[in-house]
Each structure stands twice: as structure tokens, then as C-alpha cells.
Amino acid sequence: MTKTRIWLSSPHMGETEQHYVQEAFDTNWVAPLGPNVTQFETALEQYVDADVHVAALSSGTGAIHLALQILGVTTNDDVICQSLTFSASANPIKYLGANPVFVDSESETWNISPQLLEMAIKDGIAKGKKPKAIVAVHLYVMPYKVDEVLEISNKYDIPVVEDAAEALGSTYHNRKCGQFGDIGIFSFNGNKIITTSGGGALVAKDHETKQKAIFLATQARDNAPHYQHSAIGYNYRMSNILAGIGRGQMEVLDERVAARRANFEFYKQRLGNHESVTFLQEPKGYYSNRWLTCMLTDSFETREKIRLALAEDDIESRPLWKPMHMQPIFKTCSQFVDGTSKNLFDKGLCLPSGSNLLEEDLERTVSIITKTLDQC
């Protein structure tokens, strides 16, 4: 019997996505923009359930780029960025000609350390250059220390871009992620908890900021019958076809969160008692969508043995994100690090976590991990 490949996180369509895409074809709303975009934005605004204004865009990366620009980041500015993240959190800082300053994580949520964040800000101020913005990430969907980060942001008057690319459906003290930054962003890339095959969104606090994002995302056209421009624009808007997929995905989002959380519980129950394995717990008041289940092993060697044994059986797993301050392209950037993110990178492994995994897929994965651990 040939075994099927088990993926880390693959798209999982519901019942109505094709209907909304078909509707776009039937009404010839194939050109960008149209009713699906507006409806998808409304669905997101209602889901986040706060007074937010959402602009659907072509990617989460584009959303971060626009967020930083709208917050006034420009050439030679310093921008603080969580080091343990995907490169898309940091790249837009460079698009704007600004300099990333990388800050390490704390071990309770694996996200930006409030102590090191404040240290980085004080250092900047002492050198006469106050950082212009903070990019904080709900990595692996555990919310960052929202209150502590907000307090620092207020104290020094530095705005926060909340990278909630992975965290749609996670909550902090019963409030949905995406509403905590001066500007928030989501991603609907193919591997995320819901997908539009590719897409993102910017979450603004007011209508004017949303309109500014849409203006910049649609080539910055001035109000004139001809094409007139008094600013540099981008082509970052979401298409009406893809927004149709998003509308359908919003209808199953809560089911997807439930399925991913069940995966996490399965892994924790079956592997959590092993002395060389730990899982990130939800601190009080935190609720994670468990987009990916990440397992922390006792050493780099154990992590690699498990990863290779899984690969041998055609099961996809992946080390945690390699911290940005360790990336060849960013290694000369300023950094405030204490080894926490490097340790997580060395010992952590993301396990197959799709909402479409079968019980037998999870069983197969766990049996290989158990076998490997028993040999360690």
C-alpha cells in the first residue's frame, strides 16, 4: 500500500467558495473590485467584532508595507521588529528604505519580549533616534503580550503594527487578534488557517485610514477623469474572484479553528508526557487558533532525528522560523537578543496541522515521533 503524503498545512475549502466565485463569473465581476471584496471586508469586520475598518489586499506582506508607510516610516528610520517571525514581517521595512532593529522573544508566548523592546527603544532615544514603529507578531498564533506592548507603545508614543497574519481566530482576554495594533494585518496565503489562495487584509481603526490604504493599494489615483497621480501607489488590492473564496472561507472559520485545536490536543495528549517534549500552553486569558502545532524537544539533535524520520515516511514537518537576526540578509542589523529565539529555532518543530487531516494521519505522525523518541 502506498502511503499518501501528509502536509504541514494545506488549503481546506468549504461548501460555498465555488458558489461565490461562480457568482463573480455570472455577473462578470471578474475585473478587480466588486461585491465579493466588499462582502469579504464586512465579514472580517464583523468577525473581529470591534470598531475596525478592513481593506482586503493582495497579500499580508503588502498590508505590512502599507501599514508602515501610513504610519509615516520612511528612509533611514529605525523600525523595531520581532526577530522570531517570517521574513515578511521585516522585508517591508527595507522596502521603505528603513532599518530593522530586531528584538528577541520571551518564553511564555514566544513573542516580542517587553523588556528587550523597552531596552531597544531607550537605546534608540539615547542615540538621538527614536524608533518610528514596532512590528509585533502573534507567532504561531499565540497572542503576544498585548497589554505590556501597548503600555510601552503609549509610554514612548511609538505606533504598533500588529502582524496577525497567522492569528485570525485567536483571542486575548476575549478580544479577537487584529484589533490591538495602531494598524493590524491578516494573511490569507495558501497555508494559513483560511485562504483566498493568496491575499491579505489591513485592519484600520478608522474609515480614513482604510480609505488611505485602498488609495495607495490602487495606484494612488487622484480624483480626476484622467489618470492623475500626486503620490506613489501600489497594485495591492484583492481581486473580486479571490474575495469570493474568502467569503466562503469565513463561513467555516470557526470549524477550522476547532479542528486545529483538536489536532493540538491530540498531539499534546499522545506526546506531552514524554520527558523530552513540551508544548506551548495558553497563558491565562489567551486563546490560540492553533494554526500550527509546534513541539519543543530537548535538543537540536532530537529535533532533527524526528524531522528526518517523519520525512522518511513522507510526512512534512518544519523547524520553527529562523530568527531574523540570524538570517544572512539581516545579520548586520541592530539586535537586542538573549538567546530565547535561537533556542526555540534549534529545538522546535512544527507538526502536520491542517484542519483536513484524518485521525489516521495524526496516528501515523505520532507513532513515528514516539518510535524516534524511544530510540533517543
Ligand X SMILES: *Cc1c(COP(=O)(O)O)cnc(C)c1O
Quick one: which of 145, 214, 184 has its CA closest to 48? 184
Rounded to a whole number of angstroms, the minimum distance from the CB of residue 52 to ligand X is 18
Establish if 195 lies at the interface with ligand X (CB under 6 A). no
From the list 53-61, 96-104, 251-259, 262-270, the region that binds ligand X by CB under 6 A is: 53-61
Kindly state the smallest distance separating residue 188's Cβ from ligand X, in Å: 7
- The CA radius of gyration of the chain, in Å to the nearest whole number, is 21
- Select from 93, 114, 113 the least CA-distant residue to 105: 113
Give the shortest CB-29-to-ligand X separation in angstroms.
Answer: 23
82 contacts ligand X (rule: CB under 6 A): no
For position 293 contacting ligand X by CB under 6 A, the verdict is no
CA angle 247, 40, 81 (to 5 degrees): 110
Opening angle at CA 134, ends 332 and 253, nearest 5: 115
- From 36, 39, 61, 372, residue interacting with ligand X (rule: CB under 6 A): 61
Could you give the 3-state DSSP secondary structure of residue 279? strand
165 binds ligand X (CB under 6 A): yes
Count of residues engaged in binding ligand X, rule: CB under 6 A: 14
Is 352 a residue that touches ligand X (CB under 6 A)?
no
Q: Among all chains, which residue has been given the C-alpha cell 484622467?
A: 226
Report the candidate in 214, 268, 208 with the shortest Cα–Cα distance to residue 236.
214
Binding-site member from 36, 69, 85, 297 for ligand X (CB under 6 A): 85
Report CA-CA distances (Å) from 357 to 7, 8, 11.
9, 10, 11
Any contact of residue 77 with ligand X (CB under 6 A)?
Answer: no
In the numeric block, the cell 481546506 is attached to 12
Helix orientation angle between 35-48 and 240-271, rounded to the nearest 10 degrees:
40
Nearer to ligand X by C-beta: 59 or 340?
59
Contact call for residue 287 and ligand X (CB under 6 A): no
Q: CB 183 → ligand X: shortest distance, Å? A: 14
Q: Is 187 in the site for ligand X (CB under 6 A)?
A: yes
Spatial distance between the Cα atoms of 202 and 36, rounded to a whole number of angstroms:
16
CB of 146 to ligand X, least distance (A): 16
CB of 80 to ligand X, least distance (A): 15
- Work out which of 78, 104, 106, 166 binds ligand X, going by CB under 6 A: 166
| Angle at the Cα of 76 from the Cα atoms of 74 and 77, rounded to 5 degrees | 65
The cell for 233 is 501607489
- Nearer to ligand X by Cβ, of 201 and 369: the residue is 201
Beta carbon nearer to ligand X, 56 or 369: 56
Rule CB under 6 A: say whether 88 interacts with ligand X: yes
Place of cell 476575549: 174
92 binds ligand X (CB under 6 A): no
- Which residue from 155, 157, 117, 109 is spatially nearest to 287, judged by alpha carbons? 109
Task: Say whether residue 9 binds ligand X (CB under 6 A).
Answer: no
Q: How far is the CB of 325 from ligand X (least distance, A)?
A: 16
Which run of H or E residues covers position 79?
strand 78-82
By CB under 6 A, residue 105 contacts ligand X: no
d(CA 364, CA 362): 5
Helices (H), 49-113: 60-70, 91-95
Judged by CB under 6 A, the stretch of 1-9, 85-93, 269-277, 352-360 that binds ligand X is: 85-93
Nearer to ligand X, 137 or 306 (CB): 137
For binding to ligand X (CB under 6 A), which residues are involved?
Answer: 59-61, 85-86, 88-89, 137, 163, 165-166, 187, 189, 200
